[in-house]
């Protein structure tokens, strides 16, 4: 693996540290036990709580490490697909850190994507949640979303999703007719995952300081 990708892989380790720190804190719902009304252990949507985060983080690390192996083998498309799965796992872990916020957002949204129950959510639903709750900042200017110099993390994650979709033959033939996916796509996907994890870790740190985790 090139040195820069190895460095990025190392920087992603902090994701697990923040998740474990969040697990050690008392869940918000537990602190409201003094209420006269019974507080449900989980939101009505059935989103698992923080107790399930370590399992998801392990899956995140598995996908990320497999992507690193693909980078070593110069298997660019396979690596990009696995990085998209790592991105999905990181967002899934966040929904389990903040199930109440997620439930409130989903209930107030009329997006058709949320017709699926949370257990069946994929990257599309998780990205809607992450952007809607401000976990991943978006550009206000529509034109900036397609400008690498001005796009924010919430815009860039769409690149990872789009490259992941190249696993479908019809899409690959339409987007890359007669040519292999370049190494640059894999390098960019690593960078976007790194930036995404930085944003999510900042959200967790903020919640811990506010004692909401």
Give residue-wise pLDDT tens across range 25-77.
434 433 332 333 444 444 467 888 888 899 999 999 999 999 999 999 999 99
Quote the CA–CA distance of 50 and 192 in Å, as a whole number: 25
pLDDT band at 212 (very low <50, low <70, confident <90, very high): low
- CA angle 84–89–95, rounded 5-degree value: 130
Q: At residue 182, does pLDDT exceed 80?
A: yes
Note the pLDDT tens digit of each residue in 90-137: 999 999 999 999 999 999 998 888 888 888 999 999 999 999 999 998
**62-75 burial, b if ≥16 CB within 10 A, otherwise e?**
ebbebbbebbeeeb
Which residue range forms the structural domain that includes residue 179?
A: 3-209
Number of domains the chain is built from: 1
- Find, among 56, 59, 60, the residue nearest to 48 by Cα: 56
pLDDT for res 40? 45
Predicted local confidence at residue 54, as pLDDT: 92
């Amino acid at each position: 693996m090139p040195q820069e990708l190895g460095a990025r892989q190392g920087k992603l380790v902090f994701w697990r540290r923040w998740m474990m720190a969040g697990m050690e804190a008392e869940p918000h719902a537990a602190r409201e036990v003094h209420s006269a009304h019974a507080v449900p252990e989980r939101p009505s949507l059935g989103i698992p709580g923080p107790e399930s985060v370590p399992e998801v983080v392990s899956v995140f690390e598995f996908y990320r490490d497999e992507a690193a192996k693909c980078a070593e083998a110069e298997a660019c498309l396979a690596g990009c697909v696995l990085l998209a799965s790592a991105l999905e796992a990181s967002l899934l872990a966040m929904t389990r850190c903040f199930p109440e916020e997620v439930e409130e957002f989903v209930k107030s949204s009329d997006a058709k994507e949320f017709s699926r129950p949370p257990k069946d959510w994929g990257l599309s639903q998780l990205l809607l949640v992450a952007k809607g709750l401000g976990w991943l900042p978006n550009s206000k200017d529509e034109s900036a979303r397609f400008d690498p110099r001005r796009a924010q993390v919430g815009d860039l994650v769409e690149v990872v999703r789009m490259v992941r979709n190249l696993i479908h033959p019809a899409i690959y033939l339409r987007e890359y007719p007669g040519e292999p996916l370049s190494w640059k796509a894999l390098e960019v996907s690593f960078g976007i995952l790194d930036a995404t994890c930085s944003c999510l870790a900042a959200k967790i740190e903020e919640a811990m300081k506010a004692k909401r985790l």
